[in-house]
Amino acid sequence: MPNLPSSLLRDQIMMSQPEIMSLACRAARGAGYSWGMAEEAGFAAVWLAHYGFDWADTLLARLSGPRGSAFVPQSKAWRSAGPVCGLHAGVTLADFATLPEGPLGSGVTIGAALDPVCLLPFVARIVARADVPLDVYCDRHIWVRLGQTGVHLSDLNLNSRSSAMISVRPAPANKTDAPPREHHQTAHVSKRVYDHLETLALHMTVPATAQSLSGAGAAGSDSD
């Protein structure tokens, strides 16, 4: 967990991984995502928090920002008319991992992705299943290596990119890794972002109607 000044800590909420999962799932569902995609958003949020990435602002940007263009997975380079959603692209990348459209052969170029950090949890999922280390390139620069030894960040400055060209390729066997990222069991989130995510989560609830309010409680008599 990063060390924050006391002035900033007063505006922060500490959250455990189950709490992050719950909030992310509910917020994604409230933003109109399917239950399956909401669960994937929860997985991504927990993974990002676990490795010290800015999960909360990234999630909020994905849920409240542009949804991205439709895309067609293809071998070597995916096709789209514009930037794609990093979250949806990540889920699809993991689904196509062992197919020609995936990264395990000679690699694949996703193209422009919105909030590309959302892709990393799903690249890590591929690594865990295939036992093949993968390099993620951001704007043609090596960004992250994910392997069985952990998450190795080559360029910290690329973490906050709101949009970038992304490619994923098998990592060279002779490459020297940067130090692995530390693990975190809890994470901070600002009250402002937390409130925004909770507001999104409330959209998944069913509004009360006059009929539901008038019928609240037991509908029959209890004569026992």
Show me where the domains of the chain are located.
Answer: 11-172+183-203
Which residues of the chain are under the pLDDT cut of 50? 1, 7, 208-209, 212-213, 216-222, 224
State the pLDDT at residue 6: 52
d(CA 176, CA 160): 24
pLDDT at 149: 86
pLDDT at residue number 210: 53
Distance CA 89, CA 84 (A): 7
pLDDT score recorded for residue 118: 96
Q: How far are the Cα atoms of 59, 73, 136, 153, 166 from residue 102, in angstroms, in the given order?
A: 24, 8, 13, 22, 13
Report yes or no: 95 and 75 within 8 Å, Cβ to Cβ. no
How far is it, in rounded angstroms, from Cα 170 to Cα 190? 36
Spatial neighbors of 167 by CB under 8 A, at least 6 apart, are 107, 108, 109, 110, 136, 137, 140
User: How confident is the model at residue 30, as a pLDDT?
Assistant: 95
Give the pLDDT score at 217. Answer: 47
> How many Cα neighbours within 13 Å face the side chain of 201?
17
pTM (whole model) above 0.75? yes
